[in-house]
Structure 1
Amino acid sequence: MVVRTDFPFRVVEHEDMGIVLPDGTRLSARVWMPEDAPANPVPAVLEYIPYRKRDGTLPRDEMMHPWFAGHGYAAVRVDMRGNGDSQGLMDDEYSPQEMADALAVIDWLSRQPWCSGSVGMMGKSWGGFNCLQAAFNQPPALKAVVSVCATTDRFADDIHFKGGCLLGENFGWGAVMLSFSSRPPDPALRPDWREDWLRRLEAEPWLAPRWAAHQARDAYWAHGSVCEDWSRNTVPAMIWGGWADNYMNTVAALVEGAPAPVKGVVGPWVHQYPHTAVPGPQVGFLQIALRWWDRWLKGVPNGAEADPAYRAYVLHSEPPDASAKARAGHWVAEAVWPSPRVVPQVWHLAAAAPGVSHPRTPVGYLQTDESPDGFFVEVATLQHLGLAAGEFFPMGLNAEMPGDQAGDDALSVCFDGPELMAPLQLLGAAELTLRLSSDRPLGFVVARLCDVAPDGSSVRIAHGMLNLCHRDGMATPAPLVQGQPVAVTVRLDQMGYRLAPGHRLRLALSNSYWPFVWPSPQAGVLTVTAGRLVLPVHPGADRSEWTPPPAEHAAPWQHLVLRPGQSRRFVEQDLITGTRALVVEEDGGDVENLTHGLCSGETMTERWEIAPDDPLSARAVHVWEQRLSRGDWRIRTRAEATMTGTATHLRMQARLTAWEADRQIFLREWDEEVPRHFV
C-alpha cells in the first residue's frame, strides 16, 4: 500500500459547506478541491450517505477524497438528511425524499462557480445503491458513477430477503440503523445540536418490522431497484464487488443488463473499498476510478470505454479460513459478459447404490450421466445448521467470512462429484433444478457449492436459497400444497473459483441455515426425487489476464487511541438443552480526532440462539452503544433489539435510550408483530 502526499494539485478543504435544499433543509458537506478551482472549475464527485462524515466514515474519507481532489476534482462528502451534521429527519432507506435530495444536491453542485458543470457520484453499500438510483433518474449533470458493493434488485439481492427467504440481517441491520441514527450533530458545527438531536430521537424509526412485513417483491421493493427498467440505466457506470461479500451478483447483472457503458470488477474482497479490503490482493481502486472520471467527466480520450466488460479474480483452492488476509488466485478479463468462453456443464444428482458408502458422501453423487433409476432423499436438517456461514457482509478479519463447512456439511444432505484429475474452473452462476415436495406449506431450500479437500475440509464456493413460496416468482408467492411435487430452480450466487486436482465438488442441501436465514415456523421435510446442476465452466488461463495498479491512498487521519478495542466471536452449546448460540462481541474502543477534538466510540454485542429441534426457539438479541464527547460535553446512546417468532407472527422489540453526561434524557420502546404470510 502506497501513501500519497504529493499531488498534481494543491488541495484546500471546507469542513462544513452548506447545501440548502428546496424545502430549506441545510445539508452539511465536507469538500476537498484544488486550490485554483474557483478560477479553473473542475468536475465534482459526490458521495452521499448517512454514516457521518465527522466521525463515522472519516478514516476512509481522508484516505480517499483528498486523493481525488489532488488529481483535479472537487470531492464532496455529504451527510444525508437527518444524519451527522445535516438538518432534517430520515424516514427510511432509499426513500423518495432521499433521492429528491440527491438530485437537488447534484444540481446544486453543477451550478457552483468552482464546478465545471459535470458531476460524478460514487459510494459503497448505501452510497453504492443511491448512486445507481440517481443514475436511473438521469439528472442532466450526472455524467458517470462508480458503485461498490450495491444491488440492482432491493428484494431479491439485499440484506432483507434473498431468494424470498427472510434474512437474519434484516433484523440485524434494523438494530444497526436504530443505533447509528441516534447520534447528534457535532456542537462545534451546530449550535442547535441539542434541539436537533431530540427531534431525531423522537422521530427515530424502528425499520426491521417495516422491512419484514413486505414478504413479496411489491412496489416497496421495486422503488429503488434499477433492474425495474434497464433502458433507464444510460449513465456510464463502473461497478465493483467482492466474492467475500454478498453483493457479488450486481456486477454481472449490471454489465449484462444496462445499455450504458458499464465496466465490472469482482475481487476476493469483503464489504470494503478495494484499495483497503481483505482478503488481498488489494488493487489501485482510486487510480482505476480516476481513469473513469477522466473519461466521462473531463472527456479525456484514455480508452476507458474499451476496457474489458468484466474482470474477475478467480480464487484458487486453499484451506478454509474465516479471517483470510489474502487469497491465492488470478485475474481473468472478459471482453463481453456473458462470456462465450463460459460453457454450461450439466451434472445430475444421483443416490448412492445400496450398500455403497463413501466417507465424503452421506447421500449421493454428482455425475455427468443421468441415473435411469432416479432417487429419493429427504431433506430435514437440524435448525442450528449454518453457524459457519459467516456474515452477510463481512467487514474485516474477525472470523466474519465463511469458515470450514465440514461441520455444516455433516448436517446437510450432500452430493459429491468425483475426485478431480485436472483443475475445474468456474466463472458465473450455477443453477440447480430440483423436483421436490414438502410436508409443510412454508419452507425453503439452501444449496451450497463447496470445495472438499482430500483431508475433508470444505470451503464454500457459492450458495443460493429459495423460499419455496416464491417458486413461481418473487412477486407472486403462494404456500405449498403439502405433498404435491413441484419443480423449482435455485440460482446460486456468482462465483469465480478454481478447484485443484484431487479435490471434489460438493453440493450440500438443507432446509435450515441459521442465523443467515430466519427459520420456517415448522421443521418440515422436503422430499427430493430429481435434480440437475448446471455449472458455468471456464477454460482457465495459464496466467493473469489483467494486472491492476497497486493500491494507494492519501494520508490517513490523525487520531489518538484513548482505549483500544477488542473482538470476540464464538459458538456456545448448552449441554442440558442442546441450544446453540453464535455470539459476536465487537468493542471498537474510543478514539480522539486530533484535528477537531471529537472523541468517539462504539460497542456491539449480538447473540443468535436456537434449539436444534425447534425453529420457534430462534432468538436474536443485539445491543449497540454509541459514545461522543469533547471536553465537558458527553453523550451516549444505547439501542437494544430482540427478535423472536411464533407459528403465525414475527415479533421485533426495541428500546432506545439516550444520556447527556450521566443524565438520561430520552427513552422509547417498540414492540411490533408482523404476520407470517410466506416466511
Structure 2
Amino acid sequence: MQRSLLALFLAITAVLAGVTGAAAAPAPAGARAEQFPAAAAESDVPITMSDGITLRANVRRPADAAGNPIAGRFPVLLTITAYNKNALDGPASGSSGGEPDFFVKRGYVHVTVDARGTGSSGGSWQSFDDRENTDSAEIVNWAASPERPWSNGSVGMHGASYMGINQLFAAAQRPEGLKAIFPQVPAADTYRDVVASGGALDVGFIPLWMGLVTATGVVPPNYGPAEPDNGLQMYLDRVKGATSFTAPTLLEATLGLNAAFDGPFYAERSPINVVDDIDVPTFLIGGEYDLFQRGTPMLFERLRANGVPTKMIFGPWDHLQASNGEQVAEAGHGTLQELQLRWFDHHVKGLPDPGLDADVPPLTYYEIGSGKWRHAQDWVDEQRATTFELSGTSLPGRPGGLTSGEVEPGASAVAPLPVSGLCTRSANQWTGGLPGRTGLAEVCEDNRLNDTTGAVFETEPVQRPLRIRGPINARLNTSTPTGNGMLSVSVSSVSPDGRVDRLTGGWQVLSHRALDESKSRYLDGELIQPFHPFTEQAQSTMQPGRAEPIDVEVFPTGAVIPPGSKLRVSIQAYDVPHLLPAVRDLPAALSPLTVHTDPQDPSRITLPTLP
C-alpha cells in the first residue's frame, strides 16, 4: 500500500515537474558531438548554508566508458528543485526532458539540489521566502567554488516552473560564478499570475501543487546507514513545514484572510520585484496556455528594457508541454536541448557562436489562428490600440455586437452558474495541463457550449486579418444586486462554421475593482493592462444595483482573427475549476450580474493590434 501511494505521488509530481514521457531520446541531430561516453554519479552530497542547514545535491560528472569520473574542471549546470531529485532521477529532472546525460557527455558537470525543506534537504519549506532565495545564490557559489575539484567556476542554471523561478532569484543576487540562465515557464507576479487571478482564488492548481511538494518531501532519502538520525529529522522538518506554512496558507486564503490578499508575503515570492537586479543572459520559454502566460512575457520585457541579453520562445503550450519542451523544435530554432547547449556553450563555456543572435531573434512566438511562428524584437513595440465597444443585449442564441461604430443601448444578464468554465481550454490550462495528458482537453477545445452560460458579444466577420500581440483590457459597466461577484471574460475567434476558439481570458472580482493608474499600462492613451492593488484596504463592495466600470485584465496572447472569422467576447460569473471566491465572499458571488452597453459610457475591449 505504501509503495503504491508513493508511486502515485511520484507520477503526478513528475508530470508537474515536466519530465513525464521524457524517455532517453537520441541526441538532437544539430547538437555538437559527445565528448565523453558516460556519467559518474554521486548522490546526496551535503551543502551547508550560511545558517547551518544542510541541503543535498546529486552530482553527475563526465566519465569514461567504465564509469570512472574524468579528472579536471568543467563548467557546471545547476538545477534546484522542490520535487525530490532522487525520486525524479536527477539528470532527467534537470534537463526537462530528452537525453538524461546530454550535457554531461558534452563536458558539463550537472548538479541537482533539493530546495530547503524538500527531498533530502534539511530545513522547512516556505516556497521562495527570502531564506530559500538566499540559498539559491549560496548554492551557485558552492558550485563555482575552487573547493569543488570538478568545477571551473562557471555556472549556468536551467529547469522549468519552480526550477525556473529560483534561477531568477539566484541571478538577482549576482553570484560571481553565474554566467547564464534558461528559465522555462517562470512566474513574474505570483499573486496575479496564478494564486488569485483577478482577486479570486486559484483552486485548480495551487492546492494540488502545495500538497504534492509536501508529500514528496517525505519520500525516504538515500542517506545510508552512516546518518540514521537524518531521516527522523527530515520527517520532523516536513511536519513543521506542513503545519507552519502549507496548511495555514491554504486555510487563510480559503477563509479570505491575509493570504487571500496581495502584500509582502507575495511580494517576497515574486521575481518581478527583483528582475531589475538580473544582469546575466536569460533565455525564456513561455506558453500561451501556460499557468504563467501573464508573467513570462513581463520578465522578457523588463530584461530587454534593462539591456540584458534576453530571448523568449512563446508557444501554444500548457504548463506541462512548455515544461518538458517536447515541442520547442517547432519554433524553428532546434530542440530544447540544442538551444540550451548553444546558450550555455556560448555564455557559460565561452565558445564562439557568432550566428546565435542572427539564428534566434529576441522574440519567437506562435500566432494562434494562423499557425505561423512570428519573430519580433520586443513583446509590445509596433502595436496600436484598437477598441471595440459592446453593443445591444446578448440573448440565448443571439449575441450582442462588438463594434467600432454606433452603439445600441442594452443590458445583458450573466447568471452565476458554477459550471461555467468546466469544459473549456481554461480548465486544462489552470490545472497545469493534466487533462491534456489524458485526452480530456481535446473534447473541450470548442468554447461554444460554455459561451451559452453567459453573455456573448461579437463583431461581424472581419475583412482583413486582425492580429493581436500583448495584454488586453475589457472595461465592462457592471451592476449586481449584492455589490460583489466575479467577471470571467474570454476572448475568442469564431470561425465561419461556428467553432469558438478561446484565445485567452481574464477575471476580476468586483470588490477589487480599484485601479492603480501608475502601475497600469497604456497604449496610444488607452488602457491595455490594468493594475488592481488586491489589498484588503483597497477592497470595497459596489452599491447594489448601480452600474460601475470594471477593468478586467485579460492575459496576453499572440493571435490573429483571420478574414471571415469573428472576434468574440464572452462573459461569465465563474471559471471552474480555475477560480472560486473565498468563503466569506460566497454569498455575494451567488447573485447575478448585469453588463450594460451605453453610448455615453460604453463597455469596451481594447487590444494591442499589429499592422
Class of the TM-score when normalised by the shorter of the 2 chains = 0.7 to 0.9
In 2, the alpha carbon distance for the partners of 1:444 and 1:233 equals 36
496, 507, 520: which is aligned to 1:465?
Answer: 507
In 1, the alpha carbon distance for the partners of 2:502 and 2:542 equals 32
Alignment of 1:109-188 (within 5 A): 109-111=143-145, 112-158=148-194, 160-168=195-203, 169-186=205-222
In 2, the alpha carbon distance for the partners of 1:502 and 1:492 equals 24
Does 1:488 find its partner at 2:550? yes
Does 1:433 find its partner at 2:472? no
Partner of 2:337: 286
Partner of 2:232: 195
Select the structure that is richer in strand: 1
Partner of 1:474: 533
Query: Relative to structure 1, is the Cα distance of residues 187 and 298 closer, same or farther in structure 2, using a 3 angstrom cutoff?
Result: closer
Partner of 2:27: 4
Paired residues of 1:164 and 1:474 also in contact (CA < 8 A): no
Paired residue type of 2:450: D
Query: Relative to structure 1, is the Cα distance of residues 200 and 358 closer, same or farther in structure 2, using a 3 angstrom cutoff?
Result: closer
Paired residue type of 1:344: A
Paired residue type of 1:268: P
SS at match of 1:90: coil
CA drift of 1:343 comes to 3.0
When the two chains are superposed, the root-mean-square deviation of aligned CA atoms in Å is: 2.9
In 2, the alpha carbon distance for the partners of 1:370 and 1:115 equals 68
Partner of 1:346: 387
Paired residues of 1:170 and 1:208 also in contact (CA < 8 A): no
221, 233, 237: which is aligned to 2:282?
Answer: 237
Alignment of 1:229-268 (within 5 A): 229-258=274-303, 259=306, 260-268=308-316
Query: Relative to structure 1, is the Cα distance of residues 521 and 9 closer, same or farther in structure 2, using a 3 angstrom cutoff?
Result: same
Paired residue type of 2:242: P
CA drift of 1:76 comes to 1.0
Does 1:511 find its partner at 2:545? no
Paired residue type of 2:580: W
Paired residues of 1:147 and 1:238 also in contact (CA < 8 A): yes
Any idea what the Cα deviations from partners look like across 1:618-652, whole Å, max 9, x if unmatched?
Answer: xxxxxxxxxxxxxxxxxxxxxxxxxxxxxxxxxxx
Paired residue type of 1:487: P
CA drift of 1:187 comes to 6.1
Paired residues of 1:390 and 1:403 also in contact (CA < 8 A): no
Query: Relative to structure 1, is the Cα distance of residues 445 and 409 closer, same or farther in structure 2, using a 3 angstrom cutoff?
Result: same
CA drift of 1:28 comes to 2.4
Partner of 1:106: 140
SS at match of 1:144: strand
In 2, the alpha carbon distance for the partners of 1:433 and 1:236 equals 38
388, 394, 405: which is aligned to 2:433?
Answer: 394
Does 1:298 find its partner at 2:349? yes
User: Identity, % of aligned pairs?
Assistant: 26
Alignment of 1:482-561 (within 5 A): 482-483=543-544, 484-519=546-581, 520-522=585-587, 523-529=590-596, 530-539=602-611
Does 1:19 find its partner at 2:47? yes
Paired residue type of 1:385: S
Select the structure that is richer in helix: 2
Paired residues of 1:454 and 1:502 also in contact (CA < 8 A): yes
362, 365, 390: which is aligned to 1:309?
Answer: 362
Alignment of 1:344-423 (within 5 A): 344-352=385-393, 359=397, 361-362=398-399, 364-371=400-407, 373-388=408-423, 389-391=426-428, 392=430, 393-395=432-434, 396-398=436-438, 399-400=440-441, 403-423=445-465
Paired residue type of 2:79: E
Query: Relative to structure 1, is the Cα distance of residues 370 and 113 closer, same or farther in structure 2, using a 3 angstrom cutoff?
Result: farther
Query: Relative to structure 1, is the Cα distance of residues 224 and 295 closer, same or farther in structure 2, using a 3 angstrom cutoff?
Result: farther
Does 1:218 find its partner at 2:257? no
Paired residue type of 2:40: E
CA drift of 1:281 comes to 4.0
Query: Relative to structure 1, is the Cα distance of residues 280 and 351 closer, same or farther in structure 2, using a 3 angstrom cutoff?
Result: farther
Does 1:43 find its partner at 2:86? no
Query: Relative to structure 1, is the Cα distance of residues 31 and 201 closer, same or farther in structure 2, using a 3 angstrom cutoff?
Result: closer
CA drift of 1:518 comes to 0.7
Query: Relative to structure 1, is the Cα distance of residues 493 and 31 closer, same or farther in structure 2, using a 3 angstrom cutoff?
Result: same
Paired residues of 2:160 and 2:323 also in contact (CA < 8 A): no
In 2, the alpha carbon distance for the partners of 1:270 and 1:428 equals 18
CA drift of 1:201 comes to 4.9
Q: Which structure 2 residue ranges, 5 or more long, are not aligned? A: 1-23, 515-531, 597-601
Any idea what the Cα deviations from partners look like across 1:149-192, whole Å, max 9, x if unmatched?
Answer: 1111111112x211222111333333333433332213658644
CA drift of 1:502 comes to 3.3
Partner of 2:4: none
Q: TM-score, normalised by structure 2?
A: 0.78
CA drift of 1:94 comes to 0.8
SS at match of 1:521: helix
CA drift of 1:400 comes to 4.4
Partner of 1:205: 242
Partner of 1:658: none
Paired residues of 1:268 and 1:278 also in contact (CA < 8 A): no
Query: Relative to structure 1, is the Cα distance of residues 54 and 230 closer, same or farther in structure 2, using a 3 angstrom cutoff?
Result: closer
Paired residue type of 1:264: M
Partner of 2:9: none
In 1, the alpha carbon distance for the partners of 2:271 and 2:86 equals 30
Moved more, 292-301 or 214-223: 292-301
Paired residue type of 1:521: L
CA drift of 1:24 comes to 4.1
Q: Which structure 1 residue ranges, 5 or more long, are not aligned? A: 318-328, 540-679
Alignment of 1:629-668 (within 5 A): none
Paired residues of 1:269 and 1:279 also in contact (CA < 8 A): no
Paired residue type of 2:491: L
CA drift of 1:265 comes to 0.9
CA drift of 1:334 comes to 0.3
Q: TM-score, normalised by structure 1?
A: 0.70
Paired residue type of 1:536: P
CA drift of 1:204 comes to 4.2
CA drift of 1:253 comes to 0.6
Does 1:82 find its partner at 2:147? no
SS at match of 2:221: coil
CA drift of 1:116 comes to 1.9
